[in-house]
Amino acid sequence: MSAAFRDLLETFDNPHPAREYEIETICPEFTSVCPKTGQPDFGTLTILYSPGAKCVELKSLKLYLQQYRNHGAFYEDVTNLILDDLVAVTEPRWMELKADFTPRGGLSTSVRVDYISHDGQSGD
């Protein structure tokens, strides 16, 4: 499933690949469906990364995230899967994904996942 969505992500060449710097993108309109109850979940995704050879293209990111709109996914699982997809297509120096979900049953939950490239330079 995640593989199919991953193909929607497009990248462009990092215009300054020699410098280690950071890009943060905040996506406050993420919504998926709880696989147990069928009820929609809502949350804000915050993607922070240091680009290697490639940056993620924002329009394709938006389209990619919209695929989860009618897709059943647990909080902990979907956050890990999205990180995996973004790392696979951009091969960053490092990346952090934080997902803050709105309250359910009086409880609100966030999941934070990190990736660090082995050579500390790029994700190859």
Q: How far is the CB of 112 from its own copies (least distance, A)?
A: 4
Specify the 3-state DSSP secondary structure of 39: coil
- DSSP symbol at 18: T
Q: Is residue 120 near its own copies by the rule CB under 8 A?
A: no
3 binds its own copies (CB under 8 A): no
Contact characters 14-53, its own copies, x per CB under 8 A: xxx--xxxxxxxxxxx-x-------xx-x--------x--
Under rule CB under 8 A, residue 88 binds its own copies: no
| Residue 111 CB contacts under 8 Å (≥ 6 apart), including other chains | 75, 76, 79, 80, 98, 99, 101
CB-based contacts of 98: which residues, under 8 Å, 6+ apart?
Answer: 45, 46, 48, 110, 111, 112, 113
Site of interaction with its own copies (CB under 8 A): 14-16, 19-29, 31, 39-40, 42, 51, 55, 58-59, 61-62, 66, 69-70, 74-77, 79-80, 102-114
Residues noted as catalytic: 34, 41
